[in-house]
């Protein structure tokens, strides 16, 4: 099961593919997928009637274009369905950032 980091609506996702989930005017839950330009990859966005299809497209874009993660933004928290994956709040750190944080914590303990 995939795990996704939740970001606030309008928050900059950085170098990630974003899946935005919302309820449309007819009351159906729909999704959009977008990503920023990076290297020779152009920014793009597409709408999906199925959240499952949006996640498939997002994972494919992540793999194809080399993005580090897929993040999620929700119109309302209660729209999330557990069968889509695990949704985590908070900031994701890459390997270098994790190492730097651990190193700084050790240095502060030794001081």
Sign of the torsion angle spanned by Cα atoms 45, 48, 53, 55 = positive
Q: In the beta sheet, which residues pair with residue 41?
A: 38
Domain boundaries, the chain: 3-110
pTM: 0.79
Confidence of residue 1 (pLDDT cuts 50, 70, 90): confident
Confidence of residue 89 (pLDDT cuts 50, 70, 90): confident
Residue 3 neighbours by CB under 8 Å, 6+ apart: 85, 86, 87, 88
Q: Report DSSP state, residue 18.
A: E
Confidence of residue 103 (pLDDT cuts 50, 70, 90): confident
Does the pLDDT of residue 97 top 70, yes or no? no
Could you give phi then psi for residue 2, rounded to 5 degrees?
-75, 150
% of the chain at pLDDT higher than 90: 76
User: Residue holding tokens 């944080």?
Assistant: 101
Closest Cα to residue 51, out of 31, 33, 69? 31
Element (H, E) at 17: strand 17-23
Does the pLDDT of residue 91 top 80, yes or no? no
% of the chain at pLDDT higher than 70: 81
């Amino acid at each position: 099961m995939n795990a996704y980091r939740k970001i606030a609506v309008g928050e900059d996702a950085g170098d990630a593919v974003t899946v935005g989930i919302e309820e449309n005017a007819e009351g159906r839950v729909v999704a959009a997928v977008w990503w920023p330009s990076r290297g020779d990859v152009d920014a793009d966005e597409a709408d999906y009637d199925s959240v499952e299809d949006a996640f498939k497209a997002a994972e494919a874009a992540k793999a194809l274009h080399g993005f580090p993660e897929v993040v999620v933004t929700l119109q309302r928290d209660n729209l999330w369905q557990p069968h889509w994956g695990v949704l985590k709040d908070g900031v994701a750190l890459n390997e270098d950032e994790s190492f730097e944080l651990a190193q700084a914590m050790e240095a502060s303990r030794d001081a």
